[in-house]
Structure 1
Amino acid sequence: MVVEAKNTTSPHNMNQVDVNSDDRRDEQVPLLLQYWQAVSRYRIGIACIVLGTIALGIIVTLLMTPYYTATSRIEINRNQDKVTNVEGLEAEDVGQNLEFYQTQYALLEARSLADRVVRSENLATGDAFFQTFNVDPDENGIISGSDSRQSSEDRRRRFELAIRLLLDNVSISPVRGSSLVDVSFRSPDPQLSASIANAWVAQFVDSNLDRRFDSTIDARKFLEERLAQLRARLEDSERRLVRYADNKEIVTLSTTRDAEGSTVGGDTLISSNLAALNKALTDATADRIAAQAQADQNGLNKDAIENPAINGMRQKRAEIASEYAKILVQFEPEYPTAKALERQISDLDESIEKEELRMRTGALTRYSEALKRERNLQNQVAQLKSKFSGERQDTIQYNIFQREVDTNRQLYNGLLQRYKEIGVAGVGSNNIAVVDPALAPEQPSSPRILLNMALAMLMGLGLAGAYVVVSEQIDQTIKDPSDLKNRLNLAPLGSVPDMRKDDIISMLQDKKSVAWEAYISIQTSLSFLTSHGAPRSFLMTSTRPNEGKSTSAFALAAVLSSTNRKVLLIDGDMRNPSLHQMIDQKNVQGLSNYLSGDDDIDNLIQKMPDQGFWVMTAGPIPPNAAELLSSPRIKKLFDHLEEKFDCVIVDAPPVLGLADIPLLANAVEGVIYTIEAGGVKVRGIESALRRVRSSHATIFGAIITKVKSSGTGYGYGYDYQYSYGQQDPLPAPSA
């Protein structure tokens, strides 16, 4: 019942652990650092793989046949150089598009071009070309140049093989940002490489010209047929136009054509006469209006005002009137001189009136004549309008015939001109120029040993990466505390660097040592496990022997005792005791004595003055440790010790294969599990944990031991945090 009472506190304890584990879980190892740790763990295998692939690459490179690459550079212009100033069949804007150059590159790699090169160089008839590439064209192991004994099927097969060899070894490389293209061919023979590269360019130029000539032949045949049809249509439309004009008495004086040669208008005889009469009527109307205006002004018209005779008489009258006024100042009106001047004024007034009357009469006469002429022209225009209206009705159909004639004439003239141009289009025109002909190379282009070594190294790195990934997936061990929560659902209490047992025990004398700092960190985690701080009693176990549990139990006892606690360390591994060796004492009495019936507990406990805590060794090895642990005395022992000591630590045996742990676990407050980094597989640890939990024991958490600083993300803590403040560097921990 006491055990059950202790277990009821486990939820609270686990809550304390979870809080601590959440803080630790925030300290996740960066992904890049995980990669570097994996590489560091498998560095020897990686080095072997990379060096092996490099060596293999060097061997393969030395065994490869050297190839020589010859290159001919050509220029492909978008605008063609033409001898004749006529256009070809293809539109000029074809070369202005990106598709033009893509088409040229595809033509340079076309099978038809390889066919032309094979024929021009007679590559399929002899064996020299095939021998250069170490290929048997007849597939019988015997290379024979006797063409007379070859069947048509053999010749076809040799021809196809030659084409395939050319296409496999030719390469087209456009020069970026220009219209230049490099045509390269590689083969074991430098002379053959140069010859094929030059032949390839020459055949490309010839094929370009052949395509132009072939296209003109088809075009001429087509145009000849169309010209015959259009000529007949043009003659027929012209006859219909003339016949209709004669029937309708349409006399065309002139025609107007646009820039394309189409008739857009014209003058007929009636329209010309109507235009002339209409102009005359307009002039007559203007004259009649002007004459009517003069007749309506009663002598105050413009002609009367501007008449020089009237103006002269008026000027003279004004002068005489002025002189007459001066005379009247001095003399009476009856004065002879005054009377003479008065008579002159009267005569001038009479003359002016007669002249104005004459001009008024002339204006009326001109108005009458202008009105008569206007009416006469109006009658003539009305008659011509009637005739012109009828002609316009006839002109509609006439224009239809005229447009048909114009359309047929334009089509005929355009095709006739095109027919004449096609005869000379493409003659001497070429948009391809050879910039640099291919020369026989002096140095082989392949194999390149540095490039092959680089590729081999990259391949080796890839294989090494795959090796690391596969190894990481296969490796199911625990490497650092971050794996505890994720893979085992255990609270990480801390970790201990990889050091020898003797080094750890000796370092505990120095409170600035790495070992002391590591276990101080674990002791801090223990203080959060229960509501009363560190557990009053706990045992330390592991999955298998030699995982560092005994050393950790010894170190925790030393660390806890340094905090003014009264600590007892019990060697609970009665099958393979080790505590007496660590304290350099004889294992003559201890736990096995008490379980066998010795009640003198104080005599079984020893004080360790140098370490500051008490110890109880395992005692003599019993024949059956499980029977002793199953007795009620074990529970009675721990109840007594918990009253006498602040903390009781049990160095328990490993879990797997033994029944000791389930028996011991019920006697203490909880279990602290010790796991060696990179040691036992996760599956084995899970099996051991199931055995511990089957006894309803509380597992506080786990400690990772033998952690290598170069293998996990916690190495920085040991190299920096735990070593911080030390004056002299510590010796490197053993593997």
Structure 2
Amino acid sequence: MSNPQASSPPGGAIAKRASPPVPQPAAAAAPPQALSVRSVEDAEPAEASLLNYWHILVKRKWLVLSVLVTIMTVVLVATLLTPPVYRATATLQIDLETIKVIQTEGITPGEGMSSRDYYQTQYELLKTRALAERVAARLPEELLPSVHESLAPSALARLMGMLRGRPAADPAAVPLDKDRLAAFVQNNMRVEPVRNSRLVRLHFDSLQPGFSATMANTIADAFITANIDRRFDASAYAKQYLEERLQQLKLKLEDSEKQLVEFAQQEGIVSVDEQQSPAAQELQRINESLAAAQQQRIEAEAKLHRAQQTAPEALPEVLLSSIVSQLKNRRTELMSQYQDKLRIFKPDYPAMTQLQGQINEVDQQLGQEISRIKQSVKAEYESARNTESMLASRLAQLKLQLLDLQGRSIQYNIIRREVDTNRQLYDGLLQRYKEIGVAGGIGANNISVVDRARAPRGRYSPSLTRNLALGLLVGLAAGLLLALMIERLDDTIKMPEDVERQFGLAVLGVIPRIRRGSPLAELKNPRSAFSESYRSVRTALQFSTDTGVPRTLFITSSTPGEGKSTTALTLSMHFAQLGKRVLLIDADLRNPSLHHLLSVSNEAGLSNYLSGASRPLRNLCRTRVKNLTCLCSGPLPPNPAELLAGPRMVSLLQLAAASFDQVIIDGPPVLGIADSAILSNLSGGTVLVVESGSTRRGYGRTVLRRLVSARARVLGVVLTKLDPRSQGAGYGYGYYAYAEGAPKKLGHA
């Protein structure tokens, strides 16, 4: 490497060289229009799509597989260490009502509820501790060893106890009492109602097939017995209650009957029933007779008026009288004889006189008979009127008597109703008492065993296939959730889409991570993926503005170690390959690195000029790359920000822009120091370097806010150290690697 002094072009040469107009610092340029503080603040993450989730899962596939394998291993070990459990099943039929031998409704407490409540009650009765204690009491002694075996800790429990440092206690060493047996029955019994039917399956789990079947049948028999006992107890209780009530009602009925008889004797009441009372019956007869008498009186009165207003001979009674008819016939005969003899004899003739006397006598009899008929009509009227009066008077008397009787019978009726009520209660309770006495001995039951339990042929659990399937599902779900949770908690910039979505900036290029070797080694191979990526960045910079690449280009990042210096060096080399005269300035006066990458001396450089110890562009170093010149940082100054903010830095950039086709500045990180803000303001364009999977979103937004507030012209972002294989399928971005002269595609766009 040549001496810095010898490599520096003389001042006169720079002054005489024909050069294009010197560009002004970016401080005088207009602020960028594509980026502002508001756009940085308003940038929000977009909603995740299904494809994004798929990429996340592919990216973290090893985490998902690790969780899946761990859970599957745990499930497999637990299944193999768990002893086999055998389940026996007995099927019961529970009817809502029993066979009605006699009508005994209301004896048992469950007959008034709905079918749903009734069956739910029966299911809960199967799970009660009372039934478990009944089963435990009926358990024979020869089955107790099976209970001890079922209560013994499994190999898995012993292993877990050993891991915890507390060995599992052996329940078989503790004697079995009533409570432990009942708890054992409850813990191993399962009730499964069959939908839309009256059937219920009763399961029992244990370590022995025969013991499971025996316990299931024992529980079923105990439940049926308990149901019968419950009904019998209810009947016995009802019978005892009715006996007490019958005795009380019997005494009360006797007292009320005595009071009724005594009151009837005191008041002289035979019966207060209107259908049986003599006064009521006589009142009814008198009322009927009075109606008939009134009708007769009316008819007699009509006859009397007719007799008074009609000629006697025209009266119907006269016309219908046989005596009057005989007398009239007799008079007609006499008159006929008299007329016949009057032609012969004179009226004073004795025979004629005799006939005339007979005629007069007949007329007299006829008048008497008519008079008698008229008197009979009047007498009939008088009789009917007298009869009506008498009946009306009697009816009034009977009404008074009946009203008096009813008034005196009020208390009698009260006592009689009490007697009737007591008699009805007594008769009803007596009938119910007899029914319950009969029903108590019938033993009707609405629960029956449809299928008795048999010893199972195979174990019920653990099922290796089912457990592995569940472990697979749980492992996949846990792995996916863990991957998504880690991805959500990871707020770093990983993909170009994150840059565009979070910062609103264009991605100038994506640089792949170098797994082996160094960046300089990759740069030596112009056909490597690393070189191709930076060539795409160079091309993007050429179209970043209307005038092409800014003459002064500032390269920075948010934090150290993101590939800022490598990016600056690589871009300088690629611009130099285009035939441009490129000046690479190491403006990181706090932690310079370009002199290490280029293997040049850093004894003198930028800090010497800024402090006034040398002339501009005096300490330039030629590099091994054609057309590439480097200005190292020089000795580290105590006040870098003050030196960079002085006028000498502006003059240096003006001279460099006039002497070189492209000036690239490798600056310090933005966060924590003010150097980058100063340099970005002085440069014509700023490129932000972001490390994939390392730079946090908050840091990136803070960097952009500082650059925007410094009126920097941010051209875009270079995303470095991206590992396409770790980001999932579909994130190749056109990387190619070349081996033995044949291209090999690393990914696809």
TM-score for both structures, normalised by structure 2: 0.68
Change (3 A) 1:215 1:616: same
Change (3 A) 1:492 1:384: same
Q: Using the alignment, how far apart are the partners of 1:108 and 1:450 within structure 2? A: 32
Q: Look up the SS of the partner of 1:423 in the other structure.
A: helix
Q: Structure 1 residue 252 and structure 2 residue 252: aligned?
A: no
What amino acid sits opposite 2:87 in the alignment?
Answer: T
Shift of 1:72: 0.3
Shift of 1:541: 1.3
Change (3 A) 1:643 1:515: closer
Change (3 A) 1:401 1:7: farther
Match of 1:200 in 2: 219
Match of 1:338 in 2: none
What amino acid sits opposite 1:280 in the alignment?
Answer: S
Shift of 1:653: 5.6
Match of 1:314 in 2: none
CA contact (8 A) 1:672 1:702 kept: yes
Q: Using the alignment, how far apart are the partners of 1:712 and 1:673 within structure 2? A: 22
In the TM superposition, what are the counterparts of 1:116-127 in structure 2 within 5 Å?
Answer: 116-123=134-141, 126-127=144-145
CA contact (8 A) 1:80 1:429 kept: yes
**Correspondence for 2:281 among 246, 261, 272:** 272
CA contact (8 A) 2:585 2:663 kept: no
Shift of 1:52: 1.9
Change (3 A) 1:616 1:635: farther
Q: Using the alignment, how far apart are the partners of 2:141 and 2:300 within structure 1? A: 106
Q: Using the alignment, how far apart are the partners of 1:40 and 1:356 within structure 2? A: 144
Q: Look up the SS of the partner of 2:268 in the other structure.
A: coil
Shift of 1:468: 2.7
Match of 2:291 in 1: 282
Q: Using the alignment, how far apart are the partners of 1:593 and 1:42 within structure 2? A: 47
CA contact (8 A) 2:26 2:712 kept: no
What amino acid sits opposite 2:277 in the alignment?
Answer: T
Q: Using the alignment, how far apart are the partners of 1:696 and 1:140 within structure 2? A: 73
Shift of 1:39: 2.5
**Correspondence for 2:505 among 479, 484, 492:** 492
Match of 1:170 in 2: 189
Q: Using the alignment, how far apart are the partners of 1:397 and 1:668 within structure 2? A: 124
Change (3 A) 1:287 1:600: farther
Q: Look up the SS of the partner of 2:204 in the other structure.
A: strand
Change (3 A) 1:64 1:175: same
Q: Using the alignment, how far apart are the partners of 1:446 and 1:35 within structure 2? A: 37
CA contact (8 A) 2:511 2:533 kept: no
Root mean square deviation of aligned Cα: 5.5
In the TM superposition, what are the counterparts of 1:55-204 in structure 2 within 5 Å?
Answer: 55-87=73-105, 89-90=107-108, 93-94=111-112, 96-123=114-141, 126-134=144-152, 157-204=176-223
Shift of 1:226: 1.6
CA contact (8 A) 1:537 1:649 kept: yes
CA contact (8 A) 1:70 1:439 kept: yes
Q: Using the alignment, how far apart are the partners of 1:242 and 1:122 within structure 2? A: 67
Shift of 1:272: 1.5
CA contact (8 A) 2:512 2:724 kept: no
Shift of 1:83: 3.9
Q: Using the alignment, how far apart are the partners of 1:306 and 1:647 within structure 2? A: 164
Shift of 1:668: 1.8
Shift of 1:58: 1.4
In the TM superposition, what are the counterparts of 1:254-653 in structure 2 within 5 Å?
Answer: 266-289=275-298, 292=301, 367-426=381-440, 427-465=442-480, 467-468=482-483, 471-472=486-487, 475-480=490-495, 490-494=503-507, 496-499=509-512, 537-542=552-557, 543-545=559-561, 547=563, 551=567, 570-573=583-586, 575-577=592-594, 597=615, 617-618=629-630, 622=634, 630=644, 632-640=647-655, 650-652=665-667
Q: Look up the SS of the partner of 1:445 in the other structure.
A: coil
What amino acid sits opposite 2:80 in the alignment?
Answer: L
Q: Using the alignment, how far apart are the partners of 1:6 and 1:273 within structure 2? A: 138
**Correspondence for 1:664 among 679, 682, 692:** 679
**Stretch deviating more after TM superposition (87-96 or 52-61):** 87-96
CA contact (8 A) 2:213 2:453 kept: yes
Match of 1:327 in 2: none
Shift of 1:205: 0.6
**Stretch deviating more after TM superposition (596-605 or 187-196):** 596-605
Change (3 A) 1:597 1:306: farther
CA contact (8 A) 1:476 1:681 kept: yes
CA contact (8 A) 1:665 1:695 kept: no
In the TM superposition, what are the counterparts of 1:216-255 in structure 2 within 5 Å?
Answer: 216-252=235-271
Shift of 1:99: 1.8
Match of 1:675 in 2: 690
Structure 1: tracts of 5 or more residues without a match: 145-153, 256-264, 311-354, 609-614, 720-728
Higher relative contact order (CA 8 A, sep 6+): 2
Change (3 A) 1:71 1:382: same
Q: Look up the SS of the partner of 2:222 in the other structure.
A: helix
**Stretch deviating more after TM superposition (650-659 or 114-123):** 650-659
Q: Look up the SS of the partner of 2:745 in the other structure.
A: coil
CA contact (8 A) 1:545 1:654 kept: no
Match of 2:739 in 1: none
What amino acid sits opposite 2:248 in the alignment?
Answer: Q
What amino acid sits opposite 1:245 in the alignment?
Answer: A
Q: Using the alignment, how far apart are the partners of 1:675 and 1:424 within structure 2? A: 96
Shift of 1:47: 0.4
Shift of 1:141: 6.5
Q: Using the alignment, how far apart are the partners of 2:64 and 2:93 within structure 1? A: 50
Q: Using the alignment, how far apart are the partners of 2:297 and 2:526 within structure 1? A: 144
Q: Using the alignment, how far apart are the partners of 2:698 and 2:289 within structure 1? A: 124
Match of 1:41 in 2: 59
Change (3 A) 1:247 1:519: farther
Q: Using the alignment, how far apart are the partners of 2:697 and 2:41 within structure 1? A: 22
**Alignment: residue pair count:** 632
Structure 2: tracts of 5 or more residues without a match: 1-21, 155-167, 321-368, 514-518, 735-742
Change (3 A) 1:580 1:207: closer
CA contact (8 A) 1:572 1:653 kept: no
Match of 2:364 in 1: none
Q: Look up the SS of the partner of 1:424 in the other structure.
A: helix
CA contact (8 A) 2:733 2:747 kept: no
Which digits, 9 at most, give the CA deviation of each residue in 1:345-402, with x for residues without a partner?
Answer: xxxxxxxxxx999999987665544433322211110010110110010121111011
CA contact (8 A) 1:75 1:179 kept: yes
**Stretch deviating more after TM superposition (700-709 or 667-676):** 700-709
What amino acid sits opposite 2:291 in the alignment?
Answer: T
Which one has a bigger Cα radius of gyration? Answer: 2
Q: Using the alignment, how far apart are the partners of 1:305 and 1:711 within structure 2? A: 144
Q: Using the alignment, how far apart are the partners of 2:383 and 2:542 within structure 1? A: 142
Change (3 A) 1:455 1:476: same
